[in-house]
Amino acid sequence: MAETCPTSAASVSIIDNCPMNSSEWNQRATQKNCSMYPQTCNKPLQYHCLLNTYGNESIEVCAPDTLLNNDFCPSFNINQQRILEQFNCTSLIADCPERPYNSTSILNYKGCMKQLYGSMMPSTDSTLTTVENHPPNCPAMSGTSLWPTFLIISVLIILIMLAALFILHRWKKRKRGKYN
């Protein structure tokens, strides 16, 4: 997991869409000028264009390069001040990463840079605005969405273990009954 980097959170800008080719990417990286931010993180700050935590806005951010697992699109979480593996993209986009990759190579996975919720195709002009402190609350995309799944799996495991113990107890009882 990426370490927190307060400088990254201060560099966030909401944009209409991410650059979709190397030329645009390099131009925007030059404009963003990540070298102007204090290098207070463990790794150097690099230009990124990612979705926000809710998958409904594109953002530019200067953040350390982060190793990400396959099958996940990254996002930048302002509250946690880091890049996260946010969206399991296997059923959402065609070019979902099939092996681990660095966050700076996101341009190879263009689907991860398009808005997943709300408008699927962002507009083509790239107006910049500064992000306010915190994104709006969105329970559907919060980290608690895995809680019901975890609870169900835990209950099922406990029930299976209890059933196995019950069967083992009955089997031992029958076995003792044969030898008495």
Question: What's residue 23's pLDDT?
Answer: 96
Residues 15 and 101 in one domain: yes
pLDDT by residue (tens digit) across 31-40? 999 999 998 8
Q: Where are the alpha helices (DSSP H) in the chain?
A: 6-10, 22-32, 147-179
In a domain, 1, yes or no: no
* pLDDT (tens digit per residue) in 128-153: 333 333 333 333 334 445 667 777 88
CA angle 51, 56, 59 (to 5 degrees): 35
> What total number of domains does the chain contain?
2
The closest alpha carbon to 87, from 101, 102, 97, 99, belongs to 97
One-letter amino acid for residue 174 of the chain: R
Do 60 and 131 lie in a common domain? yes
Pair 84, 104 in one domain: yes
Strand partners, 47: 62
Do 42 and 25 fall into the same domain?
Answer: yes
Show the low-confidence residues of the chain (pLDDT under 70).
Answer: 1, 116-147, 178-180
Which structural domain range is residue 36 located in?
6-139
Q: Does residue 21 belong to any structural domain of this protein?
A: yes
Query: 165 and 113: one domain?
Result: no
Q: Are residues 39 and 127 in the same domain?
A: yes
- 76/149 same-domain check: no
What does the block give as tokens for 128?
A: 């910049």
- 79 and 93, same structural domain? yes
Place of tokens 């402190």: 133
Q: What are phi and psi of 24, to 5 degrees?
A: -60, -40
| Model pTM score | 0.63
Q: Do 127 and 175 belong to one domain?
A: no
